[in-house]
Every structure is written in structure tokens, then in C-alpha cells.
Amino acid sequence: MSDRLRIRRMAKRDAEVVATLARELGYPNEVESIRERIRAISRSDLDLLLVAVDAMDRPIGFVQAHRVCIIEVGFRVEILGLVVSSSARRSGIGRRLIDEAERWAKHIGAEAVSVRSNTKRTEAHLFYPALGYTKIKTQAVYEKAAR
């Protein structure tokens, strides 16, 4: 991992690269939609949005974490998204982004950090246990359009 790697808050100017990174994981998005989400999420005290940037300040990965309090299990942080550019994987960037999310979780007093990973993301199922995460369940996710 390069010493020039920096972690900073995600900004609206990062929208184009963030959209490209999201597409790498199969989430096609319009740049303007990403820009608007960055703006909205950045205003929330419940969320953390960080990018890992190269020496040119160009994002090569990002993490999104969200603070939740679940009645049955308590106060925690959930990692909602972690993406590292396919050209920069296996260089410690994902670990650095997770470290920052965990640091934030500790700072805000969370009891635990959790992450959900799609069953088809086999590399992620090796990555998270290597960082000390324990698989606690497998679940189905259902979705319905809001009306």
C-alpha cells in the first residue's frame, strides 16, 4: 500500500468516481443521483462516508457506515458499503477503510460493528473474517417499492 494513500470525507466532487466504483459491484447509478446522495448523507450525524484517495486525490475506494439502535440488539454501526477499485484491491485499502469505520464506531460509543455481504461476493467472505468479523447468520432480504 502506498504511503501516499489518504482517507478523507467523501465530497460531492467525488460523485463520478464513486458511481464508477459502485458500478464495479453491479450497482449502476447516474452521477447526479450519487452526488445528491453524497450531499444528503454528508449532512447526517448518523452516517460516515469516507474515500481512500491516491496521490492525485482521486478516489480508489470508499466506505459508508451508519449508526443504528436496534431494540433487540442495541446500539451499533453497520457498514453499508465498502468498495475498492478492482485495480487497487489486495493492497490494504479495504482494511484501512474498515479501520476508520471501526474507529468512528468506537468514538460514538457503538457496541458492535456489523456488515452484510451478498452471498455471491466470495472474496468478501474471506476478507471480513480475516479482520476479526464472525459470521452470525444467513438471511433473505426482501424489498418493496415505497408508495
**Residue 143 neighbours by CB under 8 Å, 6+ apart:** none
Burial of 11 (0-12, 13-18, 19+ CB in 10 A): middle
Mean pLDDT by 10 residues, the chain (147 residues): 82 96 88 96 96 93 97 95 90 96 98 91 89 93 92
Domains and CATH numbers, the chain: 6-130 (3.40.630.30)
| String of DSSP letters for 66-81 | EEEEETTTEEEEEEEE
- pLDDT value of position 3: 62
d(CA 104, CA 117): 20
